Amino acid sequence: MREEDLKQRLRARDLRITPNRLQLLTAIDQFVGAIPHTKLQADLASMDRVTLYRTINSLLEGGLIHRASANEQESYYALCEDSCQADAHQHQHIHFKCDTCEKIYCLPMRQDLHLNTGAFRVRTFEILASGQCEACASLEK
Amino acid sequence: MREEDLKQRLRARDLRITPNRLQLLTAIDQFVGAIPHTKLQADLASMDRVTLYRTINSLLEGGLIHRASANEQESYYALCEDSCQADAHQHQHIHFKCDTCEKIYCLPMRQDLHLNTGAFRVRTFEILASGQCEACASLEK
DNA sequence: CCTTTAAATGCAACAATGTTGCATTAGTGA
DNA sequence: TCACTAATGCAACATTGTTGCATTTAAAGG
């Protein structure tokens, strides 16, 4: 994605354009799949550790990125779609962790999932899946 | 659940029966929904912090309990169904977090979910949902 | 019931992860 | 260019999770 596009996204959410934010967005954007926090910290070593946490938070609150869980301690981050609203993320996608390469992918949901949960009213949901990704599967053949 | 049942589960997995393990299982069993780690630590304050971590790990590996993610840092734990195998947990259920009371519930899946993920081969999955639970919904009326 | 042995426990120290306060710097609108 | 507020860096702290090691204990066999 071009830097101008990233700047545009920041402006759209009334977030100031700073070198740190652009660096962070670029790192997230260029990584295939959702990027682990530790990788961000390694890649953006020039940025203060605390600033990284706070910058991530700003972008989360602004709805530019979202956090992908993975049934572990570590957090992963990915860019949001344009359609995401800051207050009501509709991530109708699957966070898929490959058992082989350990990357986290954000896959689109190809069907409308209706969770039949009786009297429990579902507002949002997220699916964590694991298995083997396309790339690793084709390597095995 | 009776203590004898809990002991039986430990025996079935070749895990020694100790007061700590029984305490931990009882705490998890009696809590409505999946119990947060911090709550375990508070309830089992007599148990060493490290021992708690190790005991949880033993029970996880033995397949007596499972971890429920919740798009946050904190881990939650719940008893497994009898059908769970230690090596291949098939938790075809939904981890539902109530926005109001913040409890985590393990809801059964009432339908067979087929995740259409193309060349990505799904081995296991977990669904994290949030919204309003039955109890909180009925209080509002 | 006693002995033996490996597993479980408690404690200390450490490591990793995340947070808060505050002084300084920098982005943005006037 | 100025003024104002948000963003940053640094130090300190808090929380969460891990490792090593000496001691205790569950449970199997005589």
pLDDT tens track, chain A, 141 positions: 789 999 999 999 999 999 999 999 999 999 998 999 999 999 999 999 999 999 999 999 999 999 987 767 789 999 987 545 544 445 567 889 998 888 899 887 765 667 777 889 888 888 888 899 999 999 876
Q: How confident is the model at residue B127 (pLDDT cuts 50, 70, 90)?
A: confident
Chain B residues inside the 8 Å CB shell of A94: 115, 117, 125
pLDDT at position A6, please?
A: 96
Whether any strand D atom is under 7 angstroms from the Cβ of A23: the reply reads: no
Query: What's the Rg (C-alpha) of chain B?
Result: 16
Between B139 and B59, residue with greater pLDDT:
B59
Between A119 and B87, residue with greater pLDDT:
A119
- Nearest nucleotide (CA of A21 to C1'): D7
Whether any strand C atom is under 7 angstroms from the Cβ of A114: the reply reads: no
C1’ C17 / CA A75, Å? 11
Of the CA atoms within 13 Å of residue B4, those in its CB half-sphere come to 0
- Token code pair at residue B116: 């259409």
User: Model-level pTM greater than 0.85?
Assistant: no
How far apart, in whole angstroms, are the C-alpha atoms of residue B54 and residue B118?
A: 39
CB A29 within 8 A of CB A10: no
pLDDT at position B1, please?
A: 80
How far apart, in whole angstroms, are the C-alpha atoms of residue B65 and residue B42?
A: 19
Whether any strand D atom is under 7 angstroms from the Cβ of A47: the reply reads: yes
- Token code pair at residue B138: 């009925």
Q: Which nucleotides of C are covered by protein (CB under 7 A)?
A: 7-13, 17-21, 26-28
How far apart, in whole angstroms, are the C-alpha atoms of residue B45 and residue B71?
A: 26
Chain A residues inside the 8 Å CB shell of B125: 94, 127-130
Contact B128 A129 (CB under 8 A): no
